[in-house]
Amino acid sequence: MANQNDIDITRAVEAILRALLEDPRPHMRPVELMVVGCSTSEIAGAIIGKRPDPALGELVARAVEGALKPLGVSWAAQCCEHLNRALVMEGREARRLGYDQACVVPFPRAGGSFASAAYRLFEQPVVVEHIRADAGLDIGDTLIGMHLRDVAVPVRPPIIDIGHAHVTMARTRPRLIGGERAMYTL
């Protein structure tokens, strides 16, 4: 049986993802692939990487999957710095997008509790080194920016903390090029 804290975390993740995906600005890319980084240590009030919590990782991974799967949005879970912030994602999506697979399996102390939970949750998990996501959610300042497409635009989350972890998120848009004489389609 879920406790109130688990319910609150699940609801917070769902609300944050809904706000990110419903951003009304017309120039944003449609979200087909999202990167999610999460420090369970930070949620629990510890320094990132110092107190991994597999149960918390599973809770957040299930909340992300539950919110995104019905919408047809693919996602990748960012591993911790011990795996160079590689990503766990569904194998069929990695192949469809042409991402090269790496040979590693994340676990809580090398990959992180969240990425480890995603690895167990996905039907055919693979680890890749790089992606170009259309949007991103960062729970606990895990530095997801390296996996976003160029021109990331901050989106203000409706909830700024999950547990003790700071929340940031972004969408991406096409580049505006050409200067003052250019005409844009936005």
C-alpha to C-alpha distance for 72 and 75, rounded to whole angstroms:
10
Look at residues 6, 16, 78, 76 and name the one whose alpha carbon lies nearest to residue 48.
78
CATH number at residue 22: 3.40.50.10360
* Within a domain: 91: yes
Tell me the CA end-to-end span of the chain in Å, nearest whole number. Answer: 48
Count of domains observed in the chain: 1
* Within a domain: 185: no
Domain that holds residue 33: 4-174
- pLDDT tens, residue order, the chain (186 aa): 567 788 899 999 999 999 999 988 888 999 999 999 999 999 999 999 899 999 999 999 999 999 999 999 999 999 999 999 999 999 999 999 999 999 999 999 899 999 999 999 999 999 999 999 999 999 999 999 999 999 999 999 999 999 999 999 999 999 888 777 777 776
C-alpha to C-alpha distance for 101 and 142, rounded to whole angstroms:
22
What tokens does 101 get? 């697979």
pTM (whole model) above 0.85:
yes
* Within a domain: 183: no
* Within a domain: 75: yes
* Within a domain: 186: no
